[in-house]
Amino acid sequence: MFRIEADPQLCSGFGSCAELAPAVFQLDRSGVVSLLVDESDDPAVVEAANSCPMGAITVFELAVESG
Q: Is 25 in the site for another protein (CB under 8 A)?
A: no
List CB contacts of 24: < 8 A, sequence separation 6 or more. 4, 17, 35, 36, 37, 40, 42, 44, 45, 48
Q: Is 6 in the site for another protein (CB under 8 A)?
A: no
x-or-dash pattern for another protein, window 46-65, by CB under 8 A?
A: xxxxxxxxxx-xxxxxxxx-
Q: Is 35 in the site for another protein (CB under 8 A)?
A: no
Q: Between 27 and 35, whose beta carbon lies closer to another protein?
A: 27
List CB contacts of 27: < 8 A, sequence separation 6 or more. 13, 15, 18, 33, 34
Point out which residues bind another protein (CB under 8 A).
Answer: 2, 5, 11-16, 18-20, 27, 29-32, 42-44, 46-55, 57-64, 66
